[in-house]
Structure 1
Amino acid sequence: MIALVPLAAVDPEAVEALLDRAFGPERRTRTAYRIRGGTLPVPELSFAALDSAEKLLGTIQCWPVALACDGGDAAPLVMVGPVAVEPERQQGGIGRALMERMLDAVPDCTAPGCGALMLIGDPEYYGRFFGFTAERTSGWRLPGPFEPRRLLARGDSVPDCAGVLGPRVRQAA
């Protein structure tokens, strides 16, 4: 039996170790890390999968980001991912269960940007199963290399403007 719990209930070092096993230590050089740099996960949308012995099997993290539109507006979004699963447990539905749990939490999410989710991922998978598309992302620029067809979004509040995607960091008062 797998339990899905808030990510905050799990040791952050265990999460980092899982991410290294799932994606390798070079993961920190990816464009996604630049987009969300300096932010903390959105607690309402970040979860962990534990087995009956409370061993960490998978995680999903969501991050506060923003699209700085060329016209001057800034639109808050939530970046979905990474979705990490223990390598020996991949292809067993854990990642899908984490995505479904996160999407189930979206209507109750009070954080800015919850109505505009985005991710970098396989359009055939995330489109078919979760409704993500590249319809409104063609004008988005990222702080590093990416494949435009893999830049996906979903939600009524996804902006349809050209601009730069980056972290949404709270400013000190």
Structure 2
Amino acid sequence: MSDAAIIPLDAIDPALVEDLLDRAFEPERRQRTAYKLREGTDWLPALSFAALDAEQHLVGTIQCWPVALTDPAGRRHPLILFGPVAVLPEAQGMGYGKALMTAAIAALSPKAQLPQVMIGDGEYYGRFWGFSSDYTGGWTLPGPWDPARLLARGASPAVLPKEGMLGPWRN
């Protein structure tokens, strides 16, 4: 990944981002539960990044989204959904995804850090960034999901409700 650059995602043509996501996850990606989690919301520009290779070609992206965990009493608890983390198939294993995750986490405000949530490999995202399924066992999602892959992290994820429905943040 030498001579690569991590830049704000909003500097990239949205059509290029969509093409990259299609190549990384197939066009059927829009049917996944993760898309229902962010339906009707816009990604957060301050936490979303693109990776460019040495030739300045787009090879990866990360988008972060506002979501909420609605507890059984109807209270909404805001969180930040990390993902998709997408890297072109031919560029995977070169450190782009790790650099994108690190950039997004580094961009979080230490003064008002919301807990973060993602759907991903617990061993990988736990080892590098402290994501865990320890706090999400009683959560539900608006579609099928593997409970072991629903991960959370934050300054104090234990303050989140033990039960609730995760969905888009809407004012």
Counterpart residue identity of residue 144, structure 1: G
- The correspondence for 1:51, drawn from 41, 50, 53, is 53
Say if 1:70 and 1:161, in contact at 8 Å, map to a contact too: no
Percent identity over paired residues: 54
Cα drift, residue 52 of structure 1: 3.4
Q: Give every structure 1 segment of 4 or more consecutive aligned residues whose post-TM-superposition deviation is greater than 4 Å.
A: none
Q: Is the 8 A contact 1:34 1:144 kept in 2?
A: yes
Return the letter of the residue paired with 1:167. Answer: P
Q: Hey, what's the Cα distance between the residues in 2 that align with 1:40 and 1:109?
A: 23
Q: Which runs of 5+ in 2 are unaligned?
A: none
Seen in structure 2, the aligned counterparts of structure 1 residues 97 and 157 have a Cα distance that, compared at 3 Å, is same
Partner of 2:44: 42
1:83 partnered with 2:85: yes
Q: Kindly provide the CA deviation profile for residues 87-121 of structure 1, in whole angstroms up to 9, marking residues without a partner as x.
A: 100011000010011111113586xxx42100000
Name 1:65's counterpart in structure 2: 67
Equivalent residue, structure 2, for 1:136: 135
5 Å-filtered alignment, 1:93-132, equals 93-107=95-109, 114-132=113-131
Q: What number of residue pairs does the alignment pair up? A: 167
Task: Tell which deviates more after alignment, 19-28 or 158-167.
Answer: 158-167
Deviations 1:38-92 (A, max 9, x none): 1111111100011233210100000000001002211000100000111100011
Where does structure 1 lack aligned partners over 5 or more consecutive residues? none
Partner residue of 1:26 out of 22, 25, 28 = 28
Partner amino acid, structure 1, of 2:26? G
| SS of the residue 1:106 aligns to | coil
